[in-house]
Amino acid sequence: MGNVIILGSQWGDEGKGKIVDLFSDRFDIVARYQGGHNAGHTVFIGEKKFILKLIPSGILRPGKQAVIGNGLVLDPAALLAEIEALESAGVEVTRSLAISNRAHVLFPSHRMMERMSEGRPGRVSIGTTSRGIGPCYEDKIARRGIRIADLMNPDIFRPQFDSVMEEKAVIAKALGIYEELDLPAIRDQYEGFADRIRPMVRDTALLLNQAIAAGKTIMFEGAQGTMLDIDHGTYPFVTSSSASAGGACTGTGVPPTRIHGVIGVSKAYITRVGGGPFPTEALDGAGDEIRARGKEFGAVTGRPRRCGWFDAPLLRYTAAINGFDSIVITKLDVLDTFATIPVCVGYRIAGREICEMPPTVAEIEKVEPVFECLPGWQSSTFGIDTFDALPAKAKDYLAFLESRTGVEAGCVSTGPERKQTIVRPGSRFEKLVT
Ligand code: GDP
Ligand code: IMO
Ligand code: MG
């Protein structure tokens, strides 16, 4: 038991929200380290459904400290709407949430700029969530971003806002994507947001490091997934942040020497939302069956998710990038009806077996997945909460995934609710989170 990162090992939507919510009661603090309100983490507590976007899923545990780290881009309007929705559902947020003074502020102009890359003829559309996430990170890296600490101080914020917005208007006009924005009104509105979020703003790197020194434990909650990571994902069909384990350090200010484990969350199959290469995509009826059974529609945008079979080479790659100690296999129950279940065990390009993840979209699109077909168990695993109670063929399926990825499946999820979960006794997972 120590400080542990829990993150997505595929293209997002692996069920991180459920897993973080479930195990966050074992930690003192839950910290998000990257992304923004492009994330959509669905958590069921009994009949109640919560969708967390910017706020760590650990907020649903009373008394836990939740942290929005410096690595996030924060749309204050989206944050306040999320706080309001949670508080009206009886969840206390403002006293439990700390927001980094070094996180970057997202403005309506970022959504306008996103139209440049997503809507213009001749540009490859990524199929983003249209939240302005990419353009906000662009400003951060270009060193013209406005941070929460700037927003807190009107003397710093006003001139910075005016000069950044003037520049954006010139670019947007030149590109023909200009949209009349009432800039003085937006500035006033953001100053109003500043007053509302001020009580939550902190130096969260200091808070986290002091908490560690005092013997408290932290769970780091990843958003998106490793294959959407800006460096390690299927570039350019990725998000604009460091979703993999390294991002937990840069995105919170907690050093690698204070992190004790990394857990990957993976579906028993795989999905992706938006464009980009997808070697094991099931374009036949099986993909539709997975989508229908798994309710695979985006939590943020409602878009149907593309569905396919478990990709072991992809997981070997993301296990290497993140150093997974253990993986959580979610949504095993979705495969209950299949007579046979293909699993991709290798990649070939032009008939030649390859061991690495190709770096370019053009090459990944040429990948011929090598499938092995496993017999399905064709009985319900929904809600099963002990390993022994699983059908033998479901156990064999999990053992096969372990053997082909080289990582233990220390936890298995068999339904959206907290209790529909198996923790494997004696696993590294159990040691890290209990
Ligand atoms: P996240 O973004 O990684 O948190 O995942 P999402 O919340 O976007 O998508 C996962 C969806 O699957 C949510 O609707 C969850 O309620 C649901 N879910 C999570 N685990 C399970 C499971 O084991 N079985 C089933 N049937 N649904 C699950
Ligand atoms: P969670 O945290 C799945 C995808 C978008 C698009 C690409 C870039 O719920 O797993 P962006 O708006 O980030 O610039 O879009 O990334 N994407 C996600 N896909 N789950 C997510 O989050 C995602 N967040 C972004 O669909 O392909
Ligand atoms: Mg999601």
CATH number at residue 373: 3.90.170.10
What distance in angstroms lies between residue 53's CA and the mean position of ligand 3's atoms? 8
pLDDT digits (tens, 9 = 90+) for 212-261: 999 999 999 999 999 999 999 999 999 999 999 999 999 999 999 999 99
391: Cα within 13 Å, side-chain hemisphere: 18
Paired tokens of 356: 């690495």
Asked if 51 and 76 sit in the same domain, the reply is yes
Which residues neighbour 433 within 8 Å (Cβ) at sequence distance 6 or greater? 1, 4, 23, 26, 263, 423
Query: Percent of the chain beyond pLDDT 70?
Result: 100
Report the C-alpha gap between 222 and 234 in whole angstroms.
Answer: 18
According to the model, what pLDDT value does residue 227 have? 98
Dist CA 389 CA 308 (whole Å): 27
- CATH value at residue 151: 1.10.300.10
pLDDT band with cut points at 50, 70 and 90 for residue 198:
very high
pLDDT at 37: 98
What is the rounded distance in angstroms from the CA atom of residue 41 to the CA atom of residue 55?
10
- CA 161 – CA 146 distance, rounded (Å): 8
Q: Which of 162, 181, 196 is the last residue of a domain?
A: 196
Tokens of 357: 């993840």
Same domain, 217 and 169: no
pLDDT at 288 over 80: yes
Q: Are residues 118 and 186 in the same domain?
A: yes
What is the C-alpha to C-alpha distance for residues 266 and 5, in angstroms, rounded to an integer? 14
Q: Out of 2-6, 54-58, 116-120, 318-322, which region has the weakest mean confidence (pLDDT)?
A: 116-120
Residue nearest to atom 6 of ligand 2 (CA): 128
* pLDDT at res. 173: 87
Residue 115 binned pLDDT confidence (cut-offs 50, 70, 90):
confident
Query: What integer pLDDT is reported at residue 179 of this predicted model?
Result: 80
Count how many domains the chain has. Answer: 3
Q: Which residue has the higher pLDDT, 115 or 289?
A: 289
CATH of the domain at 224: 3.40.440.10
Please give all residues whose beta carbon lies within 6 A of any atom in ligand 2, as ranges: 8, 11-13, 38-41, 126-129, 131, 133-134, 223-225, 228, 239-240, 273-274
Share the mean pLDDT of the chain: 96
43 and 108 part of one domain: no
Band of the pLDDT at 120, cuts 50, 70, 90?
confident
What amino acid occupies position 185? Answer: A
| Ligand found nearest the CA of 421 | 1
- Within this chain, do residues 90 and 212 fall inside the same structural domain, yes or no? yes
Identify whether 37 is a catalytic site residue.
Answer: no
Tell me, yes or no, whether 282 and 369 share the same domain. Answer: yes
Q: Which residues have C-beta within 8 Å of that of residue 345, sequence separation ≥ 6?
A: 312, 313, 370, 371, 372, 404
59 and 207 assigned to the same domain: yes
What's the rounded Cα separation, in Å, for the pair 191 and 182? 14
pLDDT at 122: 74
Q: Are residues 66 and 177 in the same domain?
A: no
pLDDT of residue 370: 98
Task: Give the model's pLDDT for residue 113.
Answer: 87
Q: What percentage of residues in the chain have a pLDDT greater than 90?
A: 91
Closest ligand 1 atom number to CA of residue 57: 4
CA distance 249 to 71: 9
What tokens appear for 173 in the block? 């006009």
Ligand 1: does its nearest atom lie under 6 Å from the Cβ of 58? Answer: no
Q: At what angle do helices 183-197 and 76-88 cross, to 10 degrees?
A: 50
318 and 422, same structural domain?
Answer: yes
Q: Do 321 and 359 sit in the same domain of this protein?
A: yes
Q: Which domain holds residue 188?
A: 104-196
Q: 196, 222, 239: which is the final residue of a domain?
A: 196
43 lies in the same domain as 116: no
Predicted confidence (pLDDT) at residue 121 exceeds the cutoff of 80: no
Neighbour tally for 306: CB within 10 Å: 21
Whole-number pLDDT of residue 221:
98
Specify whether 182 is catalytic. Answer: no
- Structural contact between residues 173 and 182, judged by C-beta atoms closer than 8 angstroms: no
Which pLDDT score, from 0 to 100, does residue 372 have?
98
Q: Is the pTM of this model over 0.95?
A: yes
Q: Is the pLDDT of residue 178 over 90?
A: no
43-55 pLDDT tens trace: 999 889 999 999 9
Q: If you average pLDDT over residues 201-221, what whole number do you get?
A: 98
State whether 305 and 396 are in the same domain: yes
194 CA distance to ligand 1 middle (Å):
33
Four-CA torsion 192, 55, 109, 179, nearest 10 degrees: -90
pLDDT at residue 46, as a whole number: 87
Asked if pLDDT for residue 1 goes beyond 80, the answer is: no
- Per-residue pLDDT, 68: 98
Say what the pLDDT of residue 357 is: 97
Q: Which of 171, 196, 221 represents a domain boundary (last residue)?
A: 196
- What pLDDT shows up at residue 431? 97
